[in-house]
Structure 1
């Protein structure tokens, strides 16, 4: 007897992901309509417990693509999920400061105060983990370690994320880095980490000094962070009970890179809409080939990068234990969807 859920849940981060574009194009709904199923957005649910699954992946019959820290945390804490594919879309990453602070490159950070956002109320403090990894990467480029600087914890519960109903002309979310920039302006810190289109816009707005700019560094272990790469995950029960639904999901996502390569301006417009920035910010932060980097793949370098990040998260006590990323990946739905669509591996 075929098990049929009432509907499927999906969620995506405000970032360049093929899942986001598949949802905006209507391909996600179309794919599951063929199975007589509807899809519902976790992020748009009025129920806070449902919305929490965007980070914890707690809902059955759900899938997600976005930053990798929440799914890595979830897996390390015992939630049975599977990776169906991985998207590597590089993005701007930098440690910045204001002009006149006597800091021009990463070697100047020695002995300086580096601001790190911290939210003690968050179940998964991915902003803190992201900033720490960015700072460590910048220091590594100068032959330094975190022991060579003073990490200043900035309690950050008000900046970034969903705003809620009302206020600010109806904006749904605010940009990150508010706590860090205020601390920098007040002279409480000397530098902090930013990434993506939002980080680049902030840096440009205040003519910040790019102390270390490494989002497109050739070493994946330098680039690896919450946004690079972004896995597509599904709860293990769904793939076990209905592997055809996992395949349908992957098939809808595989349409995106083919379309994006033929329609770069339209693809960037949809990415900009998802994040809430101008299209020029996407081209600047993700590069002129961003529309060519929306593939869903499972490659050794992607797995190695995620494995390295697992080690980093364990070293800094963000996860309780390390695990083998290769055991987390299920390549079968991607292989089956590629074969049906005649998409080359």
Structure 2
């Protein structure tokens, strides 16, 4: 059945889908000759936005954090996994500047913040991310979770309303709690963490990702995943392939256009180019192409297992049966160029 439009939605984490949708020459130009209109989900009435998490839309693409699609899949929603990227923001454990805590081992008997979004009618991925990262670091340093106290910090009103004013308030409640002494440590990442450290009020006692091979950085933002509604994939596979082609081409463009990528990501992340370069890993712009690396699939399996074990999702499911590599293979074949997807062949 032919379609006239599809919706797309993109998490504010820095990805190729955003480049494709926001730079002239990619997404919109590609679909215009086909008579198909890409529509940003958030340009529609607000009551449609929940599909960003639930996938209750028969023709929706989404690239970003992995927790909502895992949760949706666990609930029986028909969603297809098209690819993933191993591109993480720098992530830290922060304490107050005047805190006597300088090492993870000194977090014993301390209060650790778990941000919560009680108003969300879907999985609380903010809480799951902080919990997963804290547990990974504590375990690697021999600190048992029974030796610390997790404290839930509900979102502030400004955080809840982020989509209305386009200002990044994520993490404000935890930072306020840390500054007030209600907790002893928080997890923070990306531009948010950078800005907190620049206030002079906080210090980093640990950087995740700075210890490759010893501490897992798996969380909702690592890996990022690209998904699509199964109905669209089944009924209009050529649309899915074209969307992937434009995403791949945008990722290829980014590899040799750092300044242009930074200009676009500045809009997506509400940050300056300098902040982005500091907050993201080195050469991040060279690693935006979706693929199916063994590392990525193992990370996604680990994330799903954590979510299931900790009660964030109710039903388990096999990651390998969720993956559909056919669309990426078709996109690469159609491009007919020497573009290497990250381990599509396993």
The 3-state SS of whatever aligns with 2:225 is strand
- Find runs of 4+ consecutive structure 1 residues off by over 3 angstroms: 161-165
1:89 to 2:87 alignment: yes
The 3-state SS of whatever aligns with 1:160 is helix
| Aligned pairs for 1:203-214 within 5 A | 203-214=197-208
In structure 1, what is the equivalent of residue 52 of structure 2? 54
How far does the alpha carbon of each residue in 1:156-210 deviate from its partner, in whole angstroms, 9 at most, with x for none?
2524354465xxxxx4233211111111122111111111222222222235221
1:154 to 2:153 alignment: yes
1:8 to 2:6 alignment: yes
Rounded Cα–Cα distance in structure 1 between residues aligned with 2:207 and 2:145: 18
CA shift, 1:90, in A, is: 2.1
Q: Report how many residues are paired.
A: 337
The 3-state SS of whatever aligns with 2:18 is helix
Distance change >3 Å, CA 13–CA 161, structure 1 → 2 = farther
Distance change >3 Å, CA 204–CA 50, structure 1 → 2 = same
| Aligned pairs for 1:22-101 within 5 A | 22-26=20-24, 27-45=26-44, 47-101=45-99
In structure 1, what is the equivalent of residue 344 of structure 2? none
In structure 2, what is the equivalent of residue 261 of structure 1? 255
Rounded Cα–Cα distance in structure 2 between residues aligned with 1:69 and 1:202: 25
In structure 1, what is the equivalent of residue 128 of structure 2? 129
- TM-score, normalised with respect to structure 2: 0.93
Distance change >3 Å, CA 221–CA 103, structure 1 → 2 = closer
Unaligned stretches of 5+ residues in structure 2 = 342-346
Task: Note if contact 2:93-2:204 (Cα within 8 Å) is conserved in structure 1.
Answer: yes
- Choose which of 111, 114, 118 in structure 1 pairs with 2:112: 114
CA shift, 1:216, in A, is: 4.5
Out of 16-25 and 112-121, give the one that drifted further: 112-121
Unaligned stretches of 5+ residues in structure 1 = 166-170
Task: Note if contact 2:208-2:215 (Cα within 8 Å) is conserved in structure 1.
Answer: no
Across the aligned residues of Structure 1 and Structure 2, the Cα RMSD in angstroms comes to 1.6
Task: Note if contact 1:69-1:226 (Cα within 8 Å) is conserved in structure 2.
Answer: yes
- Choose which of 281, 294, 319 in structure 1 pairs with 2:275: 281
In structure 2, what is the equivalent of residue 344 of structure 1? 340
Rounded Cα–Cα distance in structure 1 between residues aligned with 2:30 and 2:245: 8
How far does the alpha carbon of each residue in 1:5-64 deviate from its partner, in whole angstroms, 9 at most, with x for none?
23100000111110011001131112222321001111232x222111111111111110
Task: Note if contact 1:76-1:319 (Cα within 8 Å) is conserved in structure 2.
Answer: yes
| Aligned pairs for 1:117-196 within 5 A | 117-122=115-120, 123-160=122-159, 162-163=161-162, 171-196=165-190
CA shift, 1:249, in A, is: 0.6
